[in-house]
Amino acid sequence: MKIRYIVYIAIALIIGYLVYNKLHGDNKKNSTEQGGGGGKNTKGGKKGGPVPVMVQIVKDTVINTTIDITGTIDPNERVNLISQTAGNITAINFTEGARVTKGQVLVKVYDQDLQATLKQNEYQITLAKQNEFRNRTLLEKEAVSRQEYETSLSEYNTLRAQADVTRAQIARTIIRAPFSGIIGLRNVSPGGYLSPSTSIATLVSTNPMKVTFNIPERYRSLVKNGSKITFNTAGSRKNFTAIVYAIDPAIDPASRTVNVRARAANPNNEITAGGFAKINLILEKSPRTIMVPTQCVVPDLKSSKVFIARNDTAYAVNVKTDNRTDTQIEVTEGLKIGDSIIISGIIQMRPKVPLKIVKVLH
């Protein structure tokens, strides 16, 4: 009896499953057929309708080709002051960190022995000159031989040359500023012994300053004497300008770069020597250039193309491109001023596709 009830229950479950599957299967099929038909109709509607797009009117654009590089800042002139002679320092005539002028006496070295030698030479020159004059007079009267006269003349000239040597030695005991500038910290003291290997101080000329930097080889033809650069330093938020005045004629074979040097005015000493310069270099300015959004340009096997809108219809135009920025690309051929270039819906664009212009950018 119990087995019979189990069989009845199993048969009922099977029949219920078949009925449920029949009813829901038919509904799903009908829904699919209806959905498929609707999809075809919708697809057909999209295919035949205009594509909504935004367009941009092509116009002239000023484009600057710039690169950001780093450089070093150097003084216009810099020299390590040393003496050409040895001796005790008798005077120091400058203040550390002060401005000095060209020709100003900075240090004086003992020269009393040289002064005495010069005075002795001058006495000997006076006597030799008198002797030369006397022998010249006697030679005219044929009272002395020409050999005697030439001997006295040679003695006179020799003493004059010795005096010139002594004067040169005395001049070397005076250290002067070779140019106007700011003198640094001194390394000597009054009374100390100064030798040619001793550094006295460093003299720098800080106005103007030199900015030296390297540019890639491919930009060499775009940089010329007179080119303007803008830079700033870590010690100041101010932007400074400099003018290129020298370009190395050779390319560094290791880095493939060219050394360039510019001169920056520094009347207020705002630029510090030895610092780094963050440089913005304008390489080229094209006043009549067509720039379009990068996404507008569709690459092709042989060229690139863009789509323009004309009479609410899309047309493909082959173009040639050149410089790029982060968001734009330069078009050198294929477009003209006033064209309406399509900037949205590019993936749906095909030649002769009908358009619905929703926005125009100028």
The residues spanned by each domain of the chain are 1-47, 51-62+287-361, 68-74+201-286, 84-107+178-197, 111-172
Burial class (CB in 10 A: 0-12, 13-18, 19+), 169: middle
Between the alpha carbon of residue 303 and those of residues 297, 318, 319, 325, 349, the distances in Å are 10, 7, 7, 19, 17
The domain at 51-62+287-361 falls in which architecture?
A: Beta Barrel (2.40)
pLDDT at 63: 66
Find the angle CA(81)-CA(87)-CA(92) to the nearest 5 degrees: 50
The model scores a pTM over 0.85: no
Digit-by-digit pLDDT tens for the chain (362 residues) are 556 666 667 676 777 667 666 655 554 444 444 444 444 443 433 455 889 999 999 988 766 667 788 899 999 999 999 998 899 999 999 999 999 999 999 999 999 999 999 999 999 999 999 998 998 888 888 888 889 888 999 999 999 999 999 999 999 999 999 999 999 999 999 999 999 888 999 999 988 999 999 988 878 888 889 888 899 888 777 889 999 999 999 888 888 889 999 999 988 888 888 888 898 887 766 556 788 888 889 887 778 899 999 999 999 999 988 777 778 888 888 898 889 999 998 888 889 999 989 988 87
Asked if 131 and 151 count as a contact pair (C-beta separation under 8 A), the reply is no
What is the C-alpha to C-alpha distance for residues 224 and 281, in angstroms, rounded to an integer? Answer: 12
3-state secondary structure the chain: CHHHHHHHHHHHHHHHHHHHHHHHHHHHHHHHHHHHHHHHHHHHHHHHCCEEEEEEECCEEEEEEEEEEEEEEEEEEEEEEECCCCEEEEEECCCCCCEECCCCEEEEECCHHHHHHHHHHHHHHHHHHHHHHHHHHHHHCCCCCHHHHHHHHHHHHHHHHHHHHHHHHHHCCEEECCCCEEECCCCCCCCCEECCCCEEEEEEEEEEEEEEEEEEHHHHHHCCCCCEEEEEECCEEEEEEEEEEEECCCCECCCCEEEEEEEECCCCCCCCCCCEEEEEEEEEEEEEEEEEEHHHCEECCCCEEEEEEECCEEEEEEEEEEEECCCEEEEEECCCCCCEEECCCHHHCCCCCEEEEEEEEC
- At the topology level of CATH, where does 68-74+201-286 sit? Elongation Factor Tu (Ef-tu); domain 3 (2.40.30)
- At the topology level of CATH, where does 111-172 sit? Helix Hairpins (1.10.287)
Asked if 73 and 276 count as a contact pair (C-beta separation under 8 A), the reply is yes
Same-fold call for 68-74+201-286 versus 111-172 = no
Bond into 253 cis (ω within 30): no
315 beta partners: 308
Q: Residue 213: CB partners within 8 Å, gap ≥ 6?
A: 69, 70, 71, 72, 259, 260, 262, 277, 279, 281
What is the C-alpha to C-alpha distance for residues 175 and 260, in angstroms, rounded to an integer? Answer: 34
